[in-house]
């Protein structure tokens, strides 16, 4: 039996954000991935977000282009990210990087490995360099890791998904792709999403609605985000899916460890939201069977201290609402405008008996009993 955990980074975020200066203790998704105690590819993977210049291109199980700015603006590349994750689940790539890169070629040459000299093709203006073929591709190595270390068969028995921003929406997309695949439809899925934001024009059904294969959904949402085009998604879940949604003070990046006063850059000022979300991400993942090291293990007293600090700093979080990642801000009756499924509604209107707790996005960080369903 294998529990596979897939970590989807947000737009512009990568697996290397564990040491990004914008996050005082590491960006949440990349850091959680680095703390997984199991075998990469067999038991976990981390997927760089759209708009990251395709740093993982050589390792993907499906071919992807470098979408550049269109990745940042429109999420281009996340469909390939989802297909890559699907292929990882199945343990079989549909594409391999067969040619050596210049860096690999130079490393092998320097080590004295007998390989052919680089071939130069084309005219002076259109010169191309062929560095030769890999004897074994990255994908072949990873497929073998999966075959060797997944227990009781290639397909995992459970899939846990974690994602921030467009990475959170990627969790929705992957869960739906699994549901529509006959080989993966019956694998139970759990999702921990942090402020899932699809961007303008990306509210199609497979991004805002979930099917019955999702057994539990936990979402944390930034109460004080006001950037135009940053409407977050509270997905429509299936009957029987345990659904938990919580509001947290701060902006989009505040929830994953940015502790600056404006939610962009600066010294550690408002760290409590990130600590709060990280603790419950770790709690949920461990409860779902994901082995983690270096967990926070906050006590009720620690959580109360975090909650008290967030309430005390209410004016600082309120001031964040004047900032925008996209130069423009938007309001709906003085609060954030969100997408409930595909319907736009005010932030605080999202509550009711389908959620546990039923206070939904009006839940207080001081009400620790409200978090009991996810502990």
CA distances from 294 to 26, 213, 276, 279, 320 (A): 13, 30, 15, 11, 31
Task: Decide if pLDDT at 136 tops 70.
Answer: no
* pLDDT tens, position by position, 140-178: 778 889 989 998 899 999 999 999 999 999 999 999 999
Number of helices (H), then strands (E), belonging to the chain: the values are 10, 11
Confidence of residue 125 (pLDDT cuts 50, 70, 90): very low
* pLDDT tens, position by position, 103-114: 655 655 565 655
- Taking a C-beta distance cutoff of 8 angstroms, is the pair 276, 248 a contact? yes
Average of per-residue pLDDT across 80-90: 93
Confidence of residue 77 (pLDDT cuts 50, 70, 90): confident
* pLDDT tens, position by position, 320-329: 999 999 888 8
Task: Decide if pLDDT at 124 tops 50.
Answer: no
| pLDDT value at residue 71 | 46
- pLDDT higher for 50 or 30? 30
- Taking a C-beta distance cutoff of 8 angstroms, is the pair 280, 371 a contact? yes
Q: Is 46 helix (H, G, I), strand (E, B) or coil?
A: strand
Count of CB atoms situated within 10 Å of the CB of 158: 17
Task: Decide if pLDDT at 130 tops 50.
Answer: no
| pLDDT value at residue 117 | 62
| Cα torsion through 98, 102, 107, 110, rounded to 10 | 120
CA distances from 41 to 27, 225, 316 (A): 21, 34, 42
Smallest CA-to-CA distance from 39 within 88, 97, 94, 96 is with: 88
| pLDDT value at residue 316 | 98
Average of per-residue pLDDT across 24-47: 97
Average of per-residue pLDDT across 2-25: 94
| pLDDT value at residue 82 | 95
DSSP code of residue 347: G
* pLDDT tens, position by position, 36-71: 999 999 999 999 988 775 555 556 657 666 555 544
Q: Average per-residue pLDDT in the chain?
A: 88
Task: Decide if pLDDT at 288 tops 80.
Answer: yes
Confidence of residue 129 (pLDDT cuts 50, 70, 90): very low
| pLDDT value at residue 1 | 84
* pLDDT tens, position by position, 196-209: 999 988 999 999 99
Stated length of the chain: 375
Q: What ranges make up the beta strands (E) of the chain?
A: 3-8, 44-47, 119-121, 128-130, 158-164, 189-194, 214-222, 233-234, 242-248, 337-340, 343-346
**Residue position matching structure tokens 């790539």:** 93
State how beta strands 44-47 and 3-8 pair: parallel
**Residue position matching structure tokens 């998704």:** 29
Confidence of residue 27 (pLDDT cuts 50, 70, 90): very high
Over pLDDT 70: what percentage of the chain?
Answer: 81
Lowest mean pLDDT among 93-97, 116-120, 128-132, 273-277: 128-132
Task: Decide if pLDDT at 318 tops 80.
Answer: yes
- What predicted TM-score, i.e. pTM, was given to this entire model? 0.88
């Amino acid at each position: 039996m294998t529990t596979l955990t897939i970590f989807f980074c947000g737009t512009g975020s990568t697996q290397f954000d564990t040491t990004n200066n914008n996050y005082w203790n590491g960006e949440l998704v990349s850091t959680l991935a680095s703390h997984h105690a199991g075998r990469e590819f067999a038991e976990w993977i981390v997927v760089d977000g759209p708009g990251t210049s395709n740093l993982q291109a050589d390792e993907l199980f499906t071919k992807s282009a470098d979408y550049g700015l269109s990745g940042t603006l429109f999420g281009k590349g996340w469909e390939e990210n989802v297909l890559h994750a699907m292929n990882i689940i199945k343990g079989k790539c549909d594409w391999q990087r067969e040619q050596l890169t210049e860096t690999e070629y130079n490393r092998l040459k320097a080590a004295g490995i007998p390989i052919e000299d680089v071939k130069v093709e084309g005219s002076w203006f259109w010169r191309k360099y062929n560095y030769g073929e890999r004897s074994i591709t990255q994908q072949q190595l990873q497929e073998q890791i999966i075959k060797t270390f997944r227990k009781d068969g290639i397909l995992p028995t459970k899939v846990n998904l974690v994602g921030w921003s467009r990475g959170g929406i990627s969790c929705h997309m992957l869960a739906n792709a699994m549901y529509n695949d006959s080989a993966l439809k019956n694998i139970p899925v759990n999702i921990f999403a942090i402020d899932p934001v699809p961007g303008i024009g990306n509210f199609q059904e497979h991004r805002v609605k979930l099917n019955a294969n999702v057994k539990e959904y936990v979402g944390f949402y930034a109460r004080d985000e006001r950037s135009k085009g940053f409407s977050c998604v509270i997905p429509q879940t299936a009957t029987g899916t345990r659904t938990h949604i919580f509001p947290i003070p701060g902006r989009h990046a505040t929830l994953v460890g940015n502790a600056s006063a404006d939610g962009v850059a600066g010294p550690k000022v408002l760290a409590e939201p990130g600590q709060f979300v990280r603790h419950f991400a770790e709690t949920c993942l461990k409860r779902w069977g994901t082995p983690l090291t270096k967990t926070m293990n906050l006590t009720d007293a620690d959580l109360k201290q975090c909650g008290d600090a967030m309430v005390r700093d209410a004016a600082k979080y309120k001031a964040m609402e004047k900032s925008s990642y996209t130069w423009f801000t938007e309001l709906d009756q003085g609060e954030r405008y969100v997408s409930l499924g595909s319907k736009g509604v005010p932030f605080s209107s999202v509550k009711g008996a389908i959620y546990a707790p039923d206070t939904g996005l009006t839940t207080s960080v001081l009400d620790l009993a409200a978090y009991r369903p996810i502990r």
